[in-house]
């Protein structure tokens, strides 16, 4: 028998609680104020942030019976929706609160206009059509390491230089559940390595060059006398 999918997802219902030692009626009334059910459950429409335990869990494999199910399709659709809404290049299911081994990547040509030609070249960036991988496995095919600045939507507002392997091979299942493999190099190999780490509860900050860790808007903080906000929504 299939296990209900919600048991695979991290969707605990949490309650705010109070332990007032007061007469029953007052206590009941008071508790009622604080025991409102949390209604915003995964898959979220935003990125989970560092500190959320879901980003530190080892994500579970999607069971064979669920690959190509409407439940998994709904999670993937939400991942792609969030990926595109925030204009980023990769997303892992734990980043929308779902502890399952699914990643999505997309590097659009349009990103080029926001970068200098030199940067685009140095980082070995190239277009990558939307790629979804369920239960992906990564094998390094070129152990040369390259160090470049990297950020993460789950560590919003910061970046640091991170060493990554030059080329990798990803194998896994696509959205429809067919076996698929993909050879990636340069920046796209970096995206794959970053997203794969999310599935094992790791973040780039675990192995970044700590001396390069920075707030991405530190200069604006100075010019605007500190009046800068980093939004966690879009
Ligand atoms: Zn990330």
CATH of domain 53-223: 3.90.45.10
For position 15, what pLDDT does the model report? 36
Question: What tens digit of pLDDT does each residue of 64-114 get?
Answer: 999 999 999 999 999 999 999 999 999 999 999 999 999 999 999 888 888
212 Cα: distance to centroid of ligand 1 (angstroms): 17
| Residue 63 and residue 51 in contact, taking contact as beta carbons nearer than 8 Å | no
Lowest mean pLDDT among 3-17, 55-69, 124-138, 168-182: 3-17
Q: Which of 71, 161, 176, 195 is catalytic?
A: 195
184 Cα: distance to centroid of ligand 1 (angstroms): 18
| Residue 191 and residue 146 in contact, taking contact as beta carbons nearer than 8 Å | no
Lowest mean pLDDT among 17-21, 59-63, 149-153, 174-178: 17-21
Q: Is 229 a catalytic residue?
A: no
Q: Is it true that the peptide bond before 153 is cis, omega within 30 degrees of 0?
A: no
162 Cα: distance to centroid of ligand 1 (angstroms): 12
For position 94, what pLDDT does the model report? 98
pLDDT(12) > 80: no
Q: 28 pLDDT band (50/70/90 cuts)?
A: confident
pLDDT mean over 151-158: 98
pLDDT(152) > 60: yes
Average pLDDT, the chain: 90
Backbone torsions φ then ψ of 106, nearest 5 degrees: -160, 125
218 Cα: distance to centroid of ligand 1 (angstroms): 21
Q: Domain locations in the chain?
A: 53-223
Distances (CA, A) of 154 to 34, 52, 54, 151, 180: 28, 9, 11, 9, 27
For position 125, what pLDDT does the model report? 94
> What residues pair up with 29 in beta bridges, in sequence order?
none
25 Cα: distance to centroid of ligand 1 (angstroms): 48
Question: What tens digit of pLDDT does each residue of 159-176 get?
Answer: 999 999 999 999 999 999
155 Cα: distance to centroid of ligand 1 (angstroms): 7
For position 1, what pLDDT does the model report? 40
pLDDT(157) > 50: yes
Q: 7 pLDDT band (50/70/90 cuts)?
A: very low
193 Cα: distance to centroid of ligand 1 (angstroms): 10
Percent share of the chain, pLDDT over 70 = 87
User: Is residue 157 left, alpha or beta, with left meaning phi > 0 and alpha meaning psi from -120 to 50?
Assistant: left
Residue that wins the pLDDT comparison between 119 and 24: 119
pLDDT mean over 150-159: 98
63 Cα: distance to centroid of ligand 1 (angstroms): 24
């Amino acid at each position: 028998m299939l296990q209900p999918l919600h048991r695979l997802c991290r969707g605990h219902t949490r309650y705010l609680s109070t332990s007032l030692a007061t007469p029953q009626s007052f206590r009941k009334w008071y508790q009622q104020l604080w025991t409102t059910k949390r209604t915003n459950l995964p898959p979220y429409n935003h990125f989970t942030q560092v500190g959320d335990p879901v980003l530190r869990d080892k994500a579970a494999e999607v069971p064979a019976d669920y690959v190509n199910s409407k439940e998994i399709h709904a999670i993937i659709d939400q991942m792609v929706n969030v990926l595109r809404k925030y204009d980023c290049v990769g997303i892992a299911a734990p980043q929308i609160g779902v502890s399952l081994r699914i990643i999505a990547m997309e590097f659009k040509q349009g990103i080029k206009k926001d970068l200098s030609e030199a940067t685009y070249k140095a980082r070995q960036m190239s277009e990558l059509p939307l790629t979804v991988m369920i239960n992906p496995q990564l094998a390094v095919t070129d152990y040369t390491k390259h160090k470049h600045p990297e950020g993460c939507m789950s560590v919003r507002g910061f970046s640091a230089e991170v060493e990554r392997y030059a080329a990798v091979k990803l194998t896994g299942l696509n959205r429809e559940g067919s076996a698929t493999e993909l050879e990636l190099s340069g920046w796209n190999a970096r995206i794959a390595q970053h997203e794969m780490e999310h599935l094992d509860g790791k973040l780039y900050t675990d192995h970044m060059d700590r001396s390069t860790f920075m707030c991405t808007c530190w200069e604006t903080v100075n010019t605007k006398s500190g009046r800068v906000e980093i939004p966690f929504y879009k």
